[in-house]
Amino acid sequence: MTPITPGMVLLTFLVFCRIGGCLMLMPGFGSQRIPMQVRLFLAVAITLALAPLIVPIVEGDLSKATVPTVVQLIASETLIGAMIGVMARLFFLALQFMGTAATMLIGYPGTPDSPIEESEPAPAIATLLTLTATVLLFTLGLHVEVMRALIASYSVMSVTDLYNPQFGLAKVTDAASDSFLLIAQLLAPFLAYSLIINFLFGIMNKLTPVIPVYFISAPFVMAGGLLLLYFTFSEALTLFVSGFQSFLANG
């Protein structure tokens, strides 16, 4: 049985700082729809569950650490956890961007819908994509992969190592690049559809200048776009979840 020492208590609290900073911004866990007390209790529960796995692999004895050092470590661990949460949230922000862009490309009315995952209203397609992806995050067990990523982060950034802004910025930049590259691939069918359909109706407008082709074509463009969304919705989310899972495993 491991004795409870002041150093172990401090290490456990530092683990809580990293996990709490991550869950504060992690998709699903950090949603505005979850009460703050629930998120706090969830962070405490996960910390107590993971502390026996993390504390033994953490090097260094912090029982004699000074107050300024402890404050630096608390700030460092919170920033590291927030960095991991931001990297994961970037994927969902990119997916929301895809929904907003697809809404514009297919001519769907862009009236903002009621916010569900985020705090600000978003188009209906963007809300549908992000909400479905959030549900898949839990139903496919990716939230467990998040916990594994947190444990693996200690092999790269130990508790005794202070937060490196340059390293954090590089990791966030890589996550943003990977997420928007993935979303660009998923958005390609809508971009190609928008270019082709508007080009065809532009030619038709030139051939029949008397007829207001633009107003006539709007329902057909939107209907074709929604039909394209129907056939690509499942595959797009499958590829998104696969890319997000790969990020959690290798990011």
135-159 pLDDT, tens per residue?
888 888 888 888 888 888 887 777 7
Model pTM score: 0.84
State both tokens at 188.
Answer: 């390609």
In a domain, 1, yes or no: no
Q: For helices 165-207 and 67-105, what crossing angle results, to 10°?
A: 10
- Give residue 214's pLDDT: 73
What's the domain count of the chain? 1
- Residue identified by tokens 């508007």 is 198
5-33 pLDDT, tens per residue?
666 778 888 888 888 888 888 888 877 77
54-85 burial: b if 16+ Cβ within 10 Å, else e: bbeebeeebeebeeeeeeebbebbbbbbbbbb
In a domain, 233, yes or no: yes
The mean per-residue pLDDT over the stretch 37-63 comes to: 78
- Give residue 138's pLDDT: 86
In a domain, 146, yes or no: yes
In a domain, 199, yes or no: yes
Domain span at 230: 6-250
In a domain, 71, yes or no: yes
In a domain, 108, yes or no: yes
In a domain, 223, yes or no: yes
In a domain, 127, yes or no: yes
Which residues are within 8 A (CB) of 33 and not within 5 positions of it... i.e. 6 or more apart? 116, 117
